[in-house]
């Protein structure tokens, strides 16, 4: 028997095949809701997968938004500054975040010496650099592809 997650993947694949734009998340979601909502509601395990996945995304987005919001960061900065050694305070100010994402914890953690080990701070930094580096790499490739395609259009 297949797992609930496998069944969900099947529903998504089927929905992708029946929408015009197979890469459009809203179109695929709409198709799954239209065609499989009843099936998902009746299957407790499948419903659990959908609910957990949706909540994970929504909660992650909310935590990220609150960690990045100016009000949240401002509220922690005074406390942060006092807890770091004087020579680290300018760096903490430049980071400009009240919390940072630590992959090994899979959580946003207050950027305070009492909450993070130096290795976790380094891990959070590496995560941001890796993510940013990948975005820069793909962005550069997309721009290169654009130039290649423009050259081909001019030649045609």
DSSP string spanning 18-84? HSSSTT-HHHHHHHHHHHHHHHHHH-HHHHHHHHHHHHHHHHHHHHHHHHH-HHHHHHHHHHHHHHS
Share of the chain above pLDDT 70, in %: 90
Q: What is the pLDDT of residue 77?
A: 63
- The model's pTM is 0.57
Residues 21-59: pLDDT tens digits? 888 888 999 999 999 999 999 999 999 999 999 898 888
Q: Environment class of residue 124 by beta-carbon count within 10 Å: exposed (0-12), middle (13-18) or buried (19+)? A: buried
């Amino acid at each position: 028997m297949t797992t609930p997650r496998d069944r969900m993947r099947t529903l998504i694949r089927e929905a992708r095949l029946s929408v015009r734009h197979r890469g459009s998340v809203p179109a695929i979601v709409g198709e799954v809701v239209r065609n499989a909502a009843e099936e998902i509601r009746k299957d407790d395990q499948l419903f659990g997968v959908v609910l957990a996945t949706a909540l994970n995304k929504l909660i992650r987005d909310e935590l990220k938004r609150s960690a990045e919001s100016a009000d949240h960061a401002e509220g922690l900065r005074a406390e942060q500054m006092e807890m770091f050694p004087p020579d680290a305070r300018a760096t903490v100010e430049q980071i400009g975040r009240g919390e940072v994402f630590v992959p090994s914890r899979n959580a946003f953690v207050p950027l305070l010496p009492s909450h993070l080990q130096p290795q976790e701070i380094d891990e959070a930094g590496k995560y941001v650099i890796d993510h940013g580096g990948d975005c820069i790499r793909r962005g550069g490739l997309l721009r290169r592809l654009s130039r290649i395609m423009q050259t081909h259009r001019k030649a045609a």
